[in-house]
Structure 1
Amino acid sequence: MRLTLSIDERRASARKVLRVPAVVQLAAGDRLEGRALDVSSGGVSIAVSKNPRVSTQCKLFFTLPLEGSLHAINCQAVVVHAILSNELGFKVGLKINEITAESKAKLERYLRR
């Protein structure tokens, strides 16, 4: 018997909508500018114009709206999936590997709102 999981069932934590600019700096040096779609404590979904390879290590930069201002979040991530989306270009799932304690605290505050 084979089981298949939906995208929601694969997620380890709940996601919250986030519509802010995002930048992905790939390990090879390419820079992808796009837009965040949603965020969780373990990852971010973004829309970009180019298709990054799955398993590519990267740096991720975005902001979180908290308490009336924007707070910069920088973290290390890995591309876990990328799919073509007619409206968005490529929808890319990034798993956060490393994040500072300060950024993690800000992310958790955003998710609790």
Structure 2
Amino acid sequence: MIFPGVGVDAATLAIPLQPLPADQVVTGTPSTGFVELTDTIGVWEHTAGTSTDVEADEVFVVLSGSATLSFTDSTLAPVDLRAGSVVQLAEGMHTVWTVHETLRKVYVAG
């Protein structure tokens, strides 16, 4: 948890990782995890591999790593993610995360 006026180093924060459920894995053996900093802000990590997800409303900023984010239920073009990328997702979007190098992002949900 963070509090007003107190900083957290999101780049080095320890994040407990767990393997993804088999029904979300497309290739590889990716693991994910997150740490909630507030009710709406957190840090999320995904190791190399490809997985599917159904998104919540959020905006995120990539801190490190690289990935390609594809949208399976729309005509949106895939987004190449790297440090500094900023993306907004809408609730219900169906996505495919192809992570080339462990991806870490800070997200603001809601």
On whether the aligned pair clears a TM of 0.5, the verdict is: no
Greater fraction of residues in helix? 1
What TM-score results when the alignment is normalised by the length of structure 2?
0.30
Between the two structures, name the one with larger relative contact order (CA 8 Å, sep ≥ 6): 2
What TM-score results when the alignment is normalised by the length of structure 1?
0.30
